[in-house]
Amino acid sequence: MIVRPSRRAEIGQWVFLLAVLALGALLASMLADNLARRNLSFGFGFLGAKAGFDIPFHLISWSTYDTYARALLVSLLNTLLVAAMSVTAATLLGLLVGIMRLSVNWLLRNIALVFVEFVRNTPQLVQIIFWYVAILQSLPPPRQSIVLPGGLLLNVRGLGLPDLVLRESGLFGATGALAAWLAAAVLLATPFVWRLRIRAWRVGTFRVGPWALVLPVLAACLLAAGVERIEYPRLTGFNVTGGTQIPPELVALWAGLTVYATAFIAEIVRGSIEAVPAGQHEAARALGLHQGQRTFLVVLPQAVRIMVPQLNSQYLNIIKSTTLGAAVAYPEIFQIFAGTVMNQSGKEVEIIIIVMAVFLSINLVFSAYMNWYNARVALVQR
């Protein structure tokens, strides 16, 4: 702007800053006073103390003799696990529902619309509690488990998944774990190699065909070589043994977060695809590209550019919403810290600071990554 702020305003802002600082100091003194009155002290030393409570679901080892600091790590991993599961599932489903919304088929289009409208206009917390209390807790007991295709068992105690049992030693003395890591590495590298190939394909020097599948097949072979057998969840007596058991709390939170985010992502996908100018589609057609090429090489890449910033904020919403796991007692960071640890240690201020700091840092890291990605896919202006 051409108008410079007045001298008075320039000085006024510093007075305002002073007032803010004074308010902060006042609050801090109140806190010190109140803590002294309750014989409490401020500090994060309690993190080194023995926790002494059980965390029913953990990805890394946990015992009641571990410290609060380790409880922080365990619950943070639980938070990240459910966030990652929900982000993945919601992206795929959102893409599907978003494309359904654009279908030429009237029925499909309107079913997607009804789904999106209903989900978007009901609170997420109600949905999560509904999944947990009304659906998962009314499932049959283990003895009458519902058998899903692929050997999955669904019952009131959660979802039983088949598990891969890795070889202790196998070909050339290599263990199954090594093979699994190699397979994962190859699989991770695949999209990057594909990118190169797609570029080559665009300029017409490379035919995509069976070659695209070389890496995934290699990964599958590696994994197959390392796996001794697949262990399916089985019914023994009154309980399910074998396989991996996903607790109902995780399933409910996962379902709740995924379904809610799916509706929002579907709208983002639809809006982004509609925002690509029709001329792009027509021009691609005039060049003689067929339907698949038009969609995947012309329209979708441009839609992705529009999608990325909005998806970014949706993903951040999912991460923040994992705290709703507190309502179904899924042991994520909020439930463990603002619940159990707060009750045990009475360190209210410290714990709120820790939880907020964790979410702020996750947000910052994620935003930084998405901004970097956004800069990569953004249109290069020449």
Partner 1 sequence: MTAEAAAQNGRVGGPVGGASPLAAARVIARVRTWLGRNLFSSPVNTLLTVLVVAFLWLTLPPIFEWMIFGATLSGASKAACTGDGACWTFIRLRLPLFLWGHYPIEELWRVGLALLALVGFGAPVLREHTRHRGRYVLALLTVFPVLAGVLLVGGVPGLPYVDTSQWGGLMLDVIVSFVTVAGALPLGILLALGRRSQLRVIKTLSIGFIELWRGVPLLTVLFMSAVMVPLFLPHGVSVDRLIRAMVAFTLFNAAYMAETVRGGLQGVPEGQEEAAYSLGLSWWQVQTFVTLPQALRHVVPGIVNNVVDLFKDTSLVTIIGLVDLLGATNQALKDPAWLGLAKEGYVFTAVLFFACCFAMSSYGRSVERRLNRHRQKASAQ
Q: Which of 65, 106, 238, 372 touches partner 1 (CB under 8 A)? A: 106
Site for partner 1 in 12-41 (CB under 8 A): 12-14, 16-17, 20, 27, 30-31, 33-35, 37
Q: Mark 128-137 as b/e (b = at least 16 C-beta within 10 Å).
A: bbebbeeebe
Residue placing its CB nearer to partner 1 in the complex, 73 or 108: 108
Q: Is 117 in the site for partner 1 (CB under 8 A)?
A: yes
Q: Which of 53, 115, 130, 232 touches partner 1 (CB under 8 A)? A: 130
Q: Mark 12-49 as b/e (b = at least 16 C-beta within 10 Å).
A: eeeeeeeeeeeeeeeeeeeeeeeeeeeeeeeeeebbee
**Sequence-ordered alpha helix ranges (H) in the chain:** 7-37, 68-101, 106-120, 124-129, 176-202, 214-226, 248-275, 278-286, 291-293, 300-321, 333-334, 342-345, 348-377
Q: Is 75 in the site for partner 1 (CB under 8 A)?
A: no
Q: Which stretch binds partner 1 (CB under 8 A): 87-95, 133-141, 172-180, 207-215?
A: 133-141
Q: Which of 77, 89, 93, 111 touches partner 1 (CB under 8 A)? A: 111
- How many beta carbons lie within 10 A of that of residue 323, not counting itself? 16
Alpha-carbon gap, residue 90 to 84, rounded angstroms: 10
Q: Is 228 in the site for partner 1 (CB under 8 A)?
A: no
Q: Is 3 in the site for partner 1 (CB under 8 A)?
A: yes
Q: Which of 25, 54, 102, 118 touches partner 1 (CB under 8 A)? A: 118
Left, alpha or beta for 15 (phi > 0: left; psi -120 to 50: alpha)? alpha
Q: Which residues contribute to the site for partner 1 (CB under 8 A)?
A: 1-6, 9-10, 12-14, 16-17, 20, 27, 30-31, 33-35, 37, 103-108, 111, 117-118, 120-127, 129-130, 133-134, 137-138, 320-324, 326-327, 334, 338, 342, 348-349, 352, 355-356, 359-360, 363-364
